[in-house]
Amino acid sequence: MAEIPATSNGSPPPSVKNLPARPRVVIVGGGFAGLTAGMALANMAVNVTLVDRRNHHTFQPLLYQVALAVLSPADIAQPIRSIFSKKRNVEVLMDEVVNIEANDRRVVLGSGAKLQYDYLILATGSTHSYFGKDEWAQYAPGLKTVEDATEIRRRVLLAFELAEREMVETGAHPLLNFVVIGGGPTGVELAGAIADTSKLYMRHDFRHIDPAKSRVILLEGSPRILAAYPEDLSQKAAKQLAQLGVEVHTGQSVSDVKPGYVVVGGERVDTVVTLWAAGVQASPLGKMLGVPVDKRGCAIVDGYLNPPGHPEIFVCGDLAHAEEAGRQIPGVAQPAMQMGRHAAQMIGQDVAGKPRTRFHYFDKGDMATIGRQAAVANLQWPFKAHWSGLLAWLAWGTVHIFFLIGFRNRLAVFFQWAWTYLTFNRGARLITGSPLLPGWGQQAGIRPQVLRAPLDSTSPLLGLRPVPPPAEPAHETKSREAS
Ligand SMILES: Cc1cc2nc3c(=O)[nH]c(=O)nc-3n(C[C@H](O)[C@H](O)[C@H](O)COP(=O)(O)OP(=O)(O)OC[C@H]3O[C@@H](n4cnc5c(N)ncnc54)[C@H](O)[C@@H]3O)c2cc1C
């Protein structure tokens, strides 16, 4: 457990002295923590600059719905500038913070410009960790941004398209194995959604392959999935995944990720799409602060959310290592928003000449969705309960609509979900970007170059001409297997 700095019991609360009439607050990060801080500061006698390297806030809990083509990117993202358009004391800069000169109270932007601050709220979140094997990222993308989501969508949909094409052209296609590495909430959501997509939503759209015959394999290194949830809920999640047809393998770590396959427990598992949901590390800005960080790079903060020796800096959200009753506060949306709000309120206390109060995390519980009518919920408020199945799924949907940023988004998501639920039709099934799928054709025993007669070479609909077999199929086969 990380050592938490002792500004606590007995010592006076931290504060910043000799403030100008309107202190300048720089917020880095327009995620859950940064946005909430900005909104709370919008009504105070301060000038705020919010810097984010993207022009939009992303509602990450619904990213997987973009990845699996239920929602479009614009349904879950909102331009940060428009969120603050009516808040006259907040300006928004689209730039990347590349360094922090904490002793001089400046952040350095990618453009080279430096922003002076009286207060800094650092909320740049976290990113994927491949545990030092960054080369795996190209074969197993993770899910954190809108770009990640559209790339995953591209790969999953493309796998079905390539299989259909190869069936028509050669009469065979690789096993449609979708492998998700990591059995936390994101991995569970992705695995369930791929199973749903192939079984419910694609079954009528292909003439030659049967998407429902694809396999979805969830690999988790620890003994159970959803390890942060109570054991009964993780068992219920495993049961619901099994009902959707997802094969869950626990206690087995992936030792290699290659184009077209992964190695788990010393065995090769062929895959057409591999997704990464196994590791998280903090944004590098935590280390740049020059304060103690934990093993994931989160800045260790005291009970007031300040790193040691810097009462003018608040670290919030996934980037903060804060503890409550000796346990680390989890890196999820609720604490991020509560921390952002608290940091803003403490700046307000300083400005008003009042003492700061300690941060207290109000835990309302956690939910993870698994698929259509399948979810688990560990409720802490307004009452304690463990829910699973339809009830948990409805609660999950209601909460996520409620917390979405922007009225338009709430309406769009509600109608899109209702439409998808009633019609089994998904509107955002677009493949954009490259038509190539990393690892396609590298699966064991696949001989896509060995062209066979198409299943229905005379089909007027397909307009196909019979493809002549290659002159030396044996040679072609060998070179592909060797590659
Ligand atoms: C796929 C997925 C699903 C999730 N589902 C849930 C869920 O169901 N429930 C839940 O409670 N939580 C969920 N989470 C976790 C939750 O989204 C995070 O805990 C939350 O987003 C953390 O908020 P934050 O403000 O700390 O960081 P973020 O929301 O990640 O925001 C960080 C911001 O900082 C910006 N930034 C980063 N580096 C820089 C830089 N150098 N310069 C400028 N800007 C920078 C980024 O562009 C981003 O806008 C999920 C996360 C993911 C990835």
Percent of the chain exceeding pLDDT 90 equals 78
Ligand 1 close to Cβ of residue 211 (< 6 A): no
Stretch 69-85: mean pLDDT: 95
Among 173, 156, 169, residue whose Cα is nearest residue 426: 156
8 Å CB contact between 192 and 241: yes
Q: Which pLDDT score, from 0 to 100, does residue 468 have?
A: 41
Give the closest residue (by CA) to ligand 1 atom 7: 61
User: What pLDDT digit, counting tens, does each position of 10-24 carry?
Assistant: 677 888 988 888 999
> Considering only the top CATH level, what class is 134-278+365-423?
alpha beta
Which of 120-124, 198-202, 315-319, 386-390 has the least mean pLDDT? 198-202
Q: Which pLDDT score, from 0 to 100, does residue 446 have?
A: 57
Taking the whole predicted model, whether its pTM rises above 0.85 is answered as yes
pLDDT score of 88 more than 70: yes
CA of 184 to the centre of ligand 1 (A): 16
Q: Ligand 1, residue 317: give the atom nearest the CA.
A: 26
8 Å CB contact between 277 and 142: yes
Q: Which pLDDT score, from 0 to 100, does residue 3 have?
A: 56
Asked, colleague to colleague, whether 24-53+95-128+281-351 and 134-278+365-423 share their fold, the answer is: yes
User: What pLDDT digit, counting tens, does each position of 416-443 carry?
Assistant: 999 888 888 777 889 999 999 999 988 8
8 Å CB contact between 264 and 219: yes
pLDDT score of 332 more than 80: yes
Cα dihedral sign for 398, 75, 150, 162?
positive
Domain 24-53+95-128+281-351: homologous superfamily in CATH = FAD/NAD(P)-binding domain (3.50.50.60)
Q: Which pLDDT score, from 0 to 100, does residue 426 have?
A: 72
More confident residue, 469 or 233: 233
pLDDT score of 449 more than 80: no
Cβ-in-10-Å burial (0-12, 13-18, 19+) of 178 comes to buried
What residue spans define the domains of the chain? Answer: 24-53+95-128+281-351, 134-278+365-423
Residue of 27, 57, 60 to test ligand 1 pocket, by largest number of atoms within 8 Å of CB: 60
User: What pLDDT digit, counting tens, does each position of 293-307 carry?
Assistant: 999 999 999 999 999
Q: Which pLDDT score, from 0 to 100, does residue 238 have?
A: 98
Ligand 1 close to Cβ of residue 15 (< 6 A): no
Residue of 97, 107, 332, 367 to test ligand 1 pocket, by largest number of atoms within 8 Å of CB: 332
Q: Which pLDDT score, from 0 to 100, does residue 118 have?
A: 98
How high does pLDDT run on average in the chain? 89
Q: Which pLDDT score, from 0 to 100, does residue 10 have?
A: 61
Ligand 1 close to Cβ of residue 34 (< 6 A): yes
Alpha carbons 30 and 50: distance in angstroms, whole number = 7
More confident residue, 171 or 338: 338
CA of 339 to the centre of ligand 1 (A): 13
Stretch 87-96: mean pLDDT: 97
151 an active-site residue? Answer: no
